[in-house]
């Protein structure tokens, strides 16, 4: 197993039936279960329950977004036509709802925003 408990990983190519989507960023809570020793347990952002992921359904977040401070930049359109990227200066930080949704390099979801995704069955 490549990852340890507590590691943040990006979900990809889900096929084993866990309640995850490609691009979700989850924290590994458990390794193995009573049926299988070589899987990871993580909490679904959709139902709050523990689901299992195989080794080939998770990957490391890219170097960029594992180090990126998601609160330091935001995208905005002014007057309905001028698109900008804003960076914080000094004391303030962008609230979560103004932060980028996804890593611009690898497409992983901003871990701060996962709770915003609509809940589903």
Contacts with Zn ion by CB under 5 A lie at 62, 64-65, 103, 105-106, 108
Q: Which is nearer to Zn ion, 14 or 106 (CB)?
A: 106
| Smallest gap from residue 102 Cβ to Zn ion (A) | 8
| Smallest gap from residue 121 Cβ to Zn ion (A) | 29
| Smallest gap from residue 78 Cβ to Zn ion (A) | 27
Nearest 5°: the CA angle 27, 29, 34 is: 140
With 0-12 / 13-18 / 19 or more C-beta atoms within 10 angstroms meaning exposed / middle / buried, residue 83 is exposed
Report the C-alpha gap between 5 and 8 in whole angstroms.
9
Q: Which is nearer to Zn ion, 14 or 62 (CB)?
A: 62
* Residues forming beta bridges with residue 87, ordered by sequence position: 73
Q: Which is nearer to Zn ion, 32 or 104 (CB)?
A: 104
């Amino acid at each position: 197993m490549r990852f340890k408990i507590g590691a943040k990983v990006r979900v990809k190519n889900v096929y084993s039936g866990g309640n995850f989507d490609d691009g979700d960023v989850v924290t590994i809570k458990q390794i193995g279960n009573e049926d299988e020793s070589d899987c990871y347990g993580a909490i679904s952002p959709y139902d709050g329950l523990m689901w299992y992921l195989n080794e080939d359904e998770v990957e490391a977040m890219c170097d960029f977004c594992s180090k990126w401070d998601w609160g330091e930049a935001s995208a905005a359109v002014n007057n309905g036509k001028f698109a900008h990227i804003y960076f914080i200066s000094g004391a303030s930080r962008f609230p979560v709802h103004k932060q980028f949704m996804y890593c611009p390099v690898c497409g992983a979801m901003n871990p701060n925003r996962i709770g915003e995704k609509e809940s589903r069955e």
